[in-house]
Amino acid sequence: MLPDSQDQDTETFSRKFWRNCLPRLKYHNPAVPMTVNRTTNQTGPALMTVHFTSPEAAATIKPEISSTTNKQTSTGPVPESKAGPPTERTEVINMKHRQDSEILEQLLKLTKAKVVRPTAEEQREIQEMEEQNARSERDAAMMAEVNATKKREAEILEQARGEVEAMQD
């Protein structure tokens, strides 16, 4: 039996994969049907099943492109995924006790997927966002310092008022 902390780590790693990696995979592969079936049994196996089909069968079924490719953002519920082409074979990835990066690496290796590198413009945007985040952190630290100074001054004034009232009594 595993200690509780290892079970929680497994749950955390799997959750990180579903929350961080899966949305990126769906965004960059809108025509690939992806569904998630979660279980409530956290002590059971943490398995990801990948279904493969033949290219001919995949070509006969035209999957709907997800709304992430549209400029318009929908506020309504997301429609359920439709069944893809018939499965030719399946492969299983055990996610138990694996980091989210290991799970992604194994999925990429299994599916022979290629990592999409950011373009020069995307690299520039990423750098701008990182710079903006750094400025934001500096501004937040500066404002925290200003607020702390104001709070100290208010406390000193309040204390001084209390001393003046005590002297008048």
Q: Which of 10-14, 98-102, 145-149 has the highest mean pLDDT?
A: 145-149
The 8-class DSSP code of residue 145 comes to H
- Over residues 96-110, the pLDDT tens digits come to 888 888 988 998 898
CB atoms under 10 Å from CB of 146, counted, come to 10
Pair of tokens at residue 169: 């009594």
Please, which pLDDT band fits residue 74 given cuts at 50, 70 and 90?
Answer: very low
Q: Which of 65-69, 81-85, 93-97, 138-142 has the highest mean pLDDT?
A: 138-142
pLDDT in the model for residue 67: 47
**Residues near 55 by beta carbon (within 8 Å), at least 6 away in sequence:** none
